Amino acid sequence: MQVDDADDDDGEGAVLSMLMRDVGAFLVPEGDTVVPLAQHAGFLEHMAALSVRFWGWQDSIGLTPMQHRVRFFAPDNIAAELRRSDVSATVVAAERGWRDLAKRSPLLSSTARAVHDQPGLVTEPLAATPATFLHGDWKMGNIGTHRDGRTILLDWAYPGAGPACWDLCWYLALNRARLPETKEVSTARFRAALEALGIETGPWWDAQLDLCTIAIMAEFGWEKALGDEEELRWWERAVEQTLHRQGRAELAR
């Protein structure tokens, strides 16, 4: 970091500049090419290690709360953005996707609406499971691997406290085309990494994963409605099974 003083005596013209290393060569390349299994495994192991490092962490400084996370793309939340002259392509896609989801998967659509209307239906029971520090955006465009094997994690726009399975489900939802193994195997790999680092997952794992599966579709159900049939139906089955296991009929109204 460098501070350059301007010529004026009071220093009001001081310029703050931050110098950062260029890690572009180590980031996951753009596109839909499947990443190597070893790199994918490293991402999940390091995601688990980050979670364990901050296990039990609670937010006392006002970062991104779970109630906001599940409503990032809620229709009423993006309504104002849609009225902007420079509305982003992502927001336009989200608006279209929610409309398409109602036709392609009434179950996912109704579940997402229930969470948008009452986030506490998932955030309150999630709060009864272990929390950690979340990065909040584990998509391939934000990650890479140093030559020494360390994971690079960029774009810290959504940090905060929450369940470790949230970062996992985000990773699975947004990186579908890049994964070298199934979501089920990836999930088991992440859980095994937590266990290897000393976290006993038995008492809370099923409930947290189920609730995050529901919550992530309140976040990205629109994106699945714009994608292929196989991916949409995978999440539909996952949410349906989750609702049955958790006895949460009020989320499938």
pLDDT tens column, 54-94 = 999 999 999 999 999 999 999 999 999 999 999 999 999 99
What was the pLDDT predicted at 2? 47
- Mean pLDDT on 236-243: 96
Strand, coil or helix: 97: helix
User: What average pLDDT does the chain have?
Assistant: 92
Strand, coil or helix: 169: helix
Least confident of 68-72, 183-187, 226-230, 249-253: 249-253
Q: Show the CA angle centred on residue 248, arms to residues 245 and 249, nearest 5°.
A: 115
Could you tell me what percent of the chain has a pLDDT over 90?
86
What was the pLDDT predicted at 26? 87
How far are the Cα atoms of 9, 16, 19 from residue 2, in angstroms, in the given order?
19, 6, 8
CA contacts within 13 A on the Cβ side of 135: 25
How far are the Cα atoms of 75, 107, 191 from residue 210, in angstroms, in the given order?
23, 16, 14
> Rounded to whole angstroms, how far apart are CA atoms 202 and 213?
18
| Domain residue extents for the chain | 34-252
pTM score, whole prediction: 0.90
The string of pLDDT tens digits covering residues 158-209 is 999 999 999 999 999 999 999 999 999 999 999 999 999 999 999 999 999 9
What was the pLDDT predicted at 251? 75
> Rounded to whole angstroms, how far apart are CA atoms 123 and 215?
8
Q: Evaluate whether 6 touches 15 at the Cβ level (below 8 Å).
A: yes
Assign a CATH topology to domain 34-252: Aminoglycoside 3'-phosphotransferase; Chain: A, domain 2 (3.90.1200)
Strand, coil or helix: 20: coil
At residue 160, φ and ψ (nearest 5 deg) are 160, -175
pLDDT at 1 over 50: no
The sign of the dihedral angle between the CA atoms of 63, 64, 66, 67 is positive
